Structures are given as structure tokens and as C-alpha cells.
């Protein structure tokens, strides 16, 4: 009896001493549980305008960012650019008082994330937890009222709530369009945090793992079957190359790339120039059905000649004929006939050179026993012929390769030049190097991108890696 009374008294004492803390803990626990439930409630991904040009979705965006930041590619990138998004972080901190980190994003905005571009406006949709909802309630209690269209404003942005989702954009039209659009279906992903990019021509899923693997689908009808080998025939320093069974397939891929570029100012300025030039150049067409004699076609952007101020692009193409028998004439010889080409031999291999705009922007054609080749400079052909014809066959219908290292280094050089010529607003050569050059140096650390595509009935299914793993980099060097 005495002992029982003693226990009760001790419990009361404990409750008196720790009760408040316990209540706070219990309240916190309940809050966290409800918060979690709120953040994960509902089946949809969120909302964006149904006509969005591109949408980025993730079921757990903060986890994706955390995992991505832990990859060796991100470490290599951030070794040169420790804070790649510092201006964005600063803007968010100035607007909200909170510096964005994956943890803080998760607490305030929740795991689900949708961002999209629509009519040149950008917007975000998230499913926040209790904290942000409480802040919104407090703002409302303090007198914040929606405008005539039902939109709230905060830090020069408009926002609205729909079915528990928060839609934010600098454009009120974007928010209104998202409010009227059907919900985005939930992503059928496994438990791994991924980022999914959707646009009218296809989807890509990006995994936050080493080498950043990707897979996806492209709505394009390509020739199926067979193997490819020419993608291995490019020199190491090639910026990027695309290899397919024939030139038409490459053009189909270019058309898709073009569609996403069509609304950019650079495209709108450059394409009319290119078209007008092409019209004036009046080169001949290749022979009819020339492509049917091609079993494999590979085009590459080899680099940019920056020996003088005016940068000159360097390109090349390789083709493997369907048959090694026959006259074996280069199919593009007729194209350059109006340029009065002159004969030339590269270490015994016969070819022709036709200058289009001087020696640096010429058309050089040559062939060896297995390939037809074309380059824009004489020296490029020499480099190309120095690489042995590939022997290994890859089971794919399309191969895309990008050399981040070569592109990053050239970008750094071009940025320095642009700074020197005062082409970057408010920056000189030092400014361009310090503020922008670091991104180019970071990109140069990423190694290579390799994507392999397979033509299917429903389109082009592809998979590959966006960057090289550190071990591969060491092996390449």
C-alpha cells in the first residue's frame, strides 16, 4: 500500500517535472504524423497547364536532390562550383527568409513536385504539409486577401490552392491555367526517388544514382533492327555524335530537337539566316535514294575552331554503305559539284576538297574500304582517318554520345573570349571567368553522356547514362 502510494507520488512528481515536455513531444509527434499524412494524401501528382511545353515531376523531389548531391558526379561538379544554385537560393531566401535545402523543402513544401513551362511562363505545384498551410492561414487572418481572380500574391508571385496542392508562378495566367487543367496522373515509379521529364514528344526518367542513369520513350518512328558501330569511330575529342541506321532517322531526331528549340530567340534568329544562306548557296541535291545505299549514318559536331575571333564550327559525318561492291562513289560528291572541288589524298586515300567559306568551312569527302566520310576541314579528315574503323557492333538503333569534358573546356574558352569582347552584360573577362567559367569547368568534370535507343512499335525506347562514373573517367584518361 505504502509502496503503491510511493509509486503514485513518484509518477505525479515525474508528470509534474516532465509533463510539459511530454505534452510538447506528444503534440509534436501528432503534428508530424498529421503533417506526413497531409503531405502524402491524394493520388494525383499535382497540376500544371494542360498545354505545358514541358513538365518535370517527382514523387519525392527533396529525396531525389539529396541523393543526387551524394553521387560522385555531383561531387565532381560541385568541386568547381560549390554552390551551383546560389543566386536561386539567395532569391528564395530574400523572398521567404528560408534558404532552400532538401530538408527544408521537405518540411515546407512536401515531397511531391511538378514544375512546367507554359507560354514562356514557369510555375511550380507542390503538396505542402501543415507548416505552410498554417502560415497561409495566419496570412489570411492578418488580412491577406485573394485578388479578383482568386489568386494570392507573395514576393511578386501568384499562388492558389487546389485540392490541397499549392500552385505558384510569377505569371497569374499560368496559375489560372493550372487551376483549370485536369490533374496529372500519379507516376508509376518504384520506391527510388526519380525525376520524370515529360514533353509532347516523350518522357525521360532520371535516377539519382552514380552515372545518373536515364530511361525513356520518344515518340518517333525509326528504322529498327541491326547493329551500329560507327559511334565508336569518332576521335575522343568529339563534342557530340548521333548514330542511326540512315540519315533520315537522324533527321527525324533533329526535327524533334528542333521542335523544343523553335520558340527560343536564338533559334528564331539563326534559322532564317541559315535558310537564306542555304538558298543562296544553291548546292545540288544528292542522288535520288542515296540513303537507301547507307546501312549506317553517323553525324558529329567535332568542335569549334577558335584560333581567330570568329568561331568556326567543325562537323563531320560517316556512312557505312549497304554493300561494299559496286562503284562506291561518295553519295555527296554531286552535292558539292557546284563548288568546283579539287582532288586531294589523305595518306593515300583519295578524296576531294571544296571550300564553301575558305579552308576552315569546306566540304572534304573521302572514303576508305568500309566508310564514306565528310568533314568541314582538311585536318579533321586526317584525324578521322587516323581512328581505326570500329569492329565492335552495338545492339541499338540509335546511339547518342556527348563529351562533357570537351564541351565544358571549349565553353570555358568561349566564355573568356565573350568576356574579353564585352558580349556578356556587366562582365569583363575576369567576371566571365569567375561567375560563369566555373559552370563550364564543372561540366567538364562530368565525363560523357551515352544513350542507346531501340526502335519499337510505340516509339524509340532509350536508356543510358548522363555522365561517366569517376572510375570510367580515370580509365579514359
DSSP symbols for 257-279: HHHHHTTSHHHHHHHHHHHHHHH
The answer to whether 422 contacts another protein (rule: CB under 8 A) is yes
Which of 90, 138, 257, 277 is close enough to bind another protein by CB under 8 A?
277
CA distance 205 to 210: 15
Q: Confirm or reject binding of residue 291 to another protein (CB under 8 A).
A: no
Instruction: Please report the beta strands in 94-188, taking only residues with DSSP state E, as ranges in sequence order.
Output: 113-118, 121-126, 152-154, 157-162, 165-169
Give the number of other CB atoms < 10 A from CB of residue 225: 9
DSSP code for 110: -
| Part of the chain binding another protein (CB under 8 A), chosen from 189-197, 210-218, 247-255, 419-427 | 419-427
Does position 276 interact with another protein (CB under 8 A)? The reply is yes
Segment lying near another protein (by CB under 8 A), choices 173-181, 239-247, 401-409, 429-437:
429-437
Total number of residues binding another protein (CB under 8 A)? 38
CA distance linking residue 309 with residue 433, whole number of Å: 18
Taking the complex as a whole, the smallest distance from the CB of residue 326 to another protein amounts, in Å, to 27
Closest CB to another protein among 144 and 434? 434
Least distance in angstroms from the C-beta of 427 to another protein: 6
Residue 289 CB, nearest approach to another protein (Å) = 27
Angular region, 128: left φ>0, alpha ψ -120 to 50, beta rest: beta
Compute the least distance from the CB of residue 428 to another protein, in Å: 5
Question: For residues 209 and 413, which CB has a smaller minimum distance to another protein in the complex?
Answer: 413
Residues 306-335 as x/- pattern, contact with another protein by CB under 8 A: -xxxx-x-----------------------
Which of these segments, 22-30, 186-194, 426-434, 469-477, binds another protein (CB under 8 A)? 426-434
Can residue 430 be called a binding residue for another protein (CB under 8 A)?
A: yes
Main-chain dihedrals φ then ψ at residue 329, nearest 5 degrees: -90, 140
- List, in order, residues 6 or more apart from 448 with CB less than 8 Å away: 401, 402, 403, 404, 405, 467, 468, 472, 476
What 3 state SS string does 44-94 have?
Answer: CCECCCCCCCEEEEECCHHHHHHHHHCCHHHHHHHHHCCCCCHHHHHHHHH
Q: For residues 72 and 305, which CB has a smaller minimum distance to another protein in the complex? A: 305
Phi/psi for 7 (5° steps) reads -60, -45
What is the rounded CA–CA span in Å between residue 298 and residue 247? 8
Q: Which stretch binds another protein (CB under 8 A): 4-12, 25-33, 276-284, 293-301?
A: 276-284
Residue 156 as a binder of another protein (CB under 8 A): the answer is no
Site string for another protein, 341-380 (x = CB under 8 A): -xx----------xxxxxxxx-------------------
Report how far apart, in Å, the C-alpha atoms of 11 and of each of 16, 18, 278, 468 are.
8, 10, 90, 61
Report if residue 82 touches another protein, rule: CB under 8 A. Answer: no
Selected from 141, 273, 285, 324, the binder of another protein by CB under 8 A is: 273
For the chain, what is the largest distance between any 2 Cα atoms, rounded to a whole number of angstroms? Answer: 116
Site string for another protein, 431-460 (x = CB under 8 A): x--xx-------------------------
Binding of another protein by 131 (CB under 8 A):
no
Helices (H) and strands (E) in the chain, counts: 14, 19
CB–CB of 207/192 below 8 Å?
yes
Cβ–Cβ under 8 Å, residues 370 and 417: no
Q: Which parts of this chain interact with another protein (CB under 8 A)?
A: 269, 272-273, 276-277, 280-282, 307-310, 312, 338-340, 342-343, 354-361, 421-428, 430-431, 434-435
Amino acid at each position: 500500500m505504502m509502496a503503491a502510494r510511493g509509486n503514485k507520488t513518484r509518477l505525479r512528481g515525474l508528470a509534474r517535472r516532465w509533463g510539459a515536455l511530454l505534452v510538447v513531444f506528444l503534440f509534436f509527434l501528432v503534428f508530424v504524423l498529421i503533417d506526413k499524412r497531409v503531405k502524402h494524401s491524394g493520388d494525383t501528382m499535382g497540376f500544371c497547364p494542360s498545354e505545358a511545353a514541358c513538365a518535370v515531376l517527382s514523387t519525392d523531389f527533396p529525396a531525389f536532390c539529396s541523393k543526387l548531391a551524394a553521387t560522385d558526379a555531383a561531387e565532381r561538379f560541385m568541386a568547381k562550383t560549390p554552390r551551383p544554385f546560389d543566386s536561386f537560393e539567395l532569391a528564395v531566401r530574400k523572398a521567404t527568409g528560408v534558404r532552400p535545402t532538401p530538408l527544408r523543402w521537405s518540411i515546407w513544401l512536401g515531397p511531391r513536385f511538378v514544375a512546367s513551362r507554359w507560354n514562356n511562363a514557369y510555375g511550380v505545384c507542390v503538396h505542402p504539409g501543415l507548416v505552410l498551410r498554417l502560415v497561409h492561414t495566419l496570412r489570411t487572418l492578418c488580412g491577406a486577401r485573394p485578388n479578383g481572380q482568386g489568386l494570392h500574391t507573395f514576393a511578386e508571385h501568384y499562388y492558389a490552392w487546389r485540392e490541397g496542392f499549392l500552385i505558384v508562378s510569377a505569371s497569374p495566367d499560368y496559375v489560372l491555367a493550372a487551376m483549370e487543367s485536369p490533374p496529372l496522373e500519379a507516376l508509376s515509379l518504384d520506391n527510388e526517388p526519380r525525376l520524370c521529364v515529360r514533353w509532347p514528344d516523350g518522357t525521360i526518367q532520371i535516377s539519382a544514382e552514380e552515372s545518373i542513369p536515364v530511361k525513356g520513350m520518344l515518340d518517333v518512328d525509326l528504322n529498327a533492327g541491326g547493329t551500329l558501330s560507327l559511334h565508336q569511330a569518332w576521335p575522343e575529342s568529339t563534342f557530340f555524335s548521333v548514330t542511326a541506321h540512315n540519315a533520315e532517322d537522324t533527321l527525324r531526331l533533329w526535327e524533334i530537337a528542333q521542335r523544343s528549340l523553335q520558340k527560343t530567340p536564338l533559334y528564331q534568329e539563326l534559322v532564317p539566316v541559315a535558310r537564306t544562306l542555304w538558298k543562296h548557296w544553291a548546292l545540288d541535291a544528292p542522288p535520288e535514294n542515296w540513303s537507301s545505299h547507307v546501312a549506317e549514318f553517323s553525324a558529329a559536331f567535332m568542335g569549334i575552331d577558335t584560333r581567330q575571333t570568329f568561331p568556326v564550327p567543325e562537323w563531320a559525318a560517316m556512312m557505312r554503305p549497304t554493300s561494299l561492291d559496286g562503284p562506291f562513289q561518295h553519295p555527296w560528291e554531286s552535292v558539292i559539284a557546284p563548288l568546283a572541288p579539287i582532288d586531294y589524298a589523305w595518306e593515300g586515300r583519295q578524296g576531294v576538297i571544296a571550300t564553301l567559306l575558305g579552308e576552315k568551312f569546306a566540304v572534304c569527302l573521302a572514303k576508305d574500304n568500309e566508310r564514306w566520310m565528310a568533314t568541314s576541314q582538311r585536318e579533321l579528315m586526317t584525324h578521322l582517318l587516323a581512328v581505326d574503323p570500329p569492329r565492335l557492333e552495338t545492339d541499338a538503333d540509335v546511339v547518342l554520345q556527348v563529351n562533357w569534358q570537351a564541351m565544358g573546356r571549349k565553353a570555358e574558352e568561349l566564355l573568356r573570349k565573350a568576356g574579353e569582347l564585352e558580349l556578356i552584360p556587366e562582365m569583363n573577362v575576369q567576371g566571365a571567368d569567375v561567375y560563369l567559367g566555373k559552370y563550364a569547368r564543372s561540366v567538364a568534370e562530368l565525363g560523357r553522356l551515352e544513350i542507346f535507343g531501340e526502335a519499337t512499335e510505340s516509339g524509340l525506347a532509350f536508356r543510358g547514362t548522363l555522365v561517366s562514373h569517376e572510375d570510367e573517367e580515370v580509365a579514359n584518361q
